[in-house]
Copies of this chain bind each other. A is one copy, B any other.
């Protein structure tokens, strides 16, 4: 039995099916959709992708037909009884509640968007963009009379939504209480992103806190902003209340505690995705990350184990990437602040380079930062920002960190070069060399 029909839940269900053709698998999903690409919502809002339906990877019916998985949408699990081995499920359309037994249980209840307790936050023109339902409501609202938008929170989804609103022709402001946009990257990278947003036409108000909403107005510590629509992008907390009430242990930031096989602290209970803990590859500490990649991976691992196989989840680096206003930005491992918090002293190699050979007409600026542990030189973090599709180059550093390479070793890598594609010396090599000089 699986609670939650998004990335982690459905990935687990299909992998469990693969291992156990005989297993009866039921998935309860309180919403109406399964297995959809929530991170694609901004591109539908912005008009780059035509239709929300394009985001649905597989419909509930497809799971039923192709995988014999009994997906029940509109069903919310409201209680777990571990002793009786059963869950209490509310059928939202019929308004009735039933009890159902299970042998094994996977909790994939995802994340809960943060909603500060502010006056007016429940107004219909203020909302999140976490589910397809949220997106449908927002699209319905975006009529021709809607001219001004405010995005609360300058993280990945917030910035993607700001770009989407500009693409729709809305006057758009991003408000973030931190002095810099995008948590998890260092100041020089965040500044590039701020500049890209402004070039694209987004007004950016950092170090500014939203204090409330009134009809058509967002009140902030920096004054009032007119808005016909406001979107909340303040991150998510693990949706672990149901598990906690059942007596299942919580860990980092109240995410469900799991071992490397995604086993929770109760027998026959597993957890995966945004509701569960991860382990950080550099610090070894339990953390909470809410990323689609991790949800897919941990769901898969839970499903393999649940289906009688053996799999373990690798530690995470929090590798994240996005394209914002024509610039790609990516990070992996620890940022400067995160390294400091973990008590790891780092040296930084920062290099300004270009995406292609300087003389090639397609060349644009690229900024990379590589953080290495002082002394031994182990790479612990990296960031990159620039246009011309350079974002995925973060994967080189995600691989280097996972493999435990030092800055010396990164400087010696045999990376690809051609004038139309890159520079002779790869920016990571130059950054590694710069860091190595300071070790």
Contact = CB atoms under 8 A, between A and B. Distances in A.
Contacts of A319: 414-416
Given A323-B420, A328-B421, A388-B389, A49 B360 contact: yes
Given A40-B357, A393-B395, A402 B414 contact: yes
Interface stretch (A25-33, A339-347, A405-413): A405-413
A150 interface: no
Contact of A395 (B37, B316, B396): B396
Contact of A398 (B55, B281, B413): B413
A231 B48 CA distance: 43
A421 B390 CA distance: 9
Contacts of A316: 414
Interface residues of A, number: 67
Contacts of A398: 413-416
Copies in the complex: 2
A437 to B, nearest CB: 12
Interface stretch (A246-254, A268-276, A422-430): A422-430
Interface string A357-400: 10111000000000000000000000000001111111110111
A296 B360 contact: no
Nearest to A400: B399
A39 B418 contact: yes
B392 A416 contact: yes
A156 B399 CA distance: 27
A317 interface: yes
Contacts of A424: 7, 37, 292-293, 296
Given A321-B422, A402-B409, A419-B40, A359 B293 contact: no
A177 B294 CA distance: 48
Given A321-B422, A361-B49, A399-B400, A281 B392 contact: no
A343 to B, nearest CB: 22
Given A48-B361, A359-B54, A296 B425 contact: yes
Interface string A312-338: 001111111111000010101000000
Q: Which of A317, A332, A412, A426 has the most CB of B within 10 A?
A: A412
Contacts of A396: 395-396, 399
Contacts of A389: 388-389, 421
A426 B395 CA distance: 10
A310 interface: no
B49 A417 contact: no
A426 to B, nearest CB: 7
A359 B54 CA distance: 6
Nearest to A156: B418
A23 interface: no
A330 to B, nearest CB: 5
B357 A420 contact: no
A403 interface: yes
A13 to B, nearest CB: 16
Contact of A394 (B314, B416, B419): B416
21 contacts: A7-B424, A37-B357, A37-B419, A40-B357, A48-B420, A49-B359, A49-B360, A55-B359, A156-B418, A291-B417, A296-B424, A297-B412, A314-B414, A316-B414, A319-B414, A322-B418, A323-B420, A323-B421, A392-B421, A395-B415, A396-B399
The 5 A-B residue pairs with the shortest CB-CB distance in the complex, in nearest-first order:
A403-B403, A321-B416, A389-B389, A314-B412, A54-B359
Given A317-B414, A322-B421, A395-B428, 18 more contacts: A7-B424, A39-B418, A39-B419, A43-B360, A48-B420, A281-B414, A296-B424, A314-B412, A318-B414, A319-B416, A320-B416, A320-B418, A390-B392, A394-B416, A398-B415, A398-B416, A402-B405, A402-B414
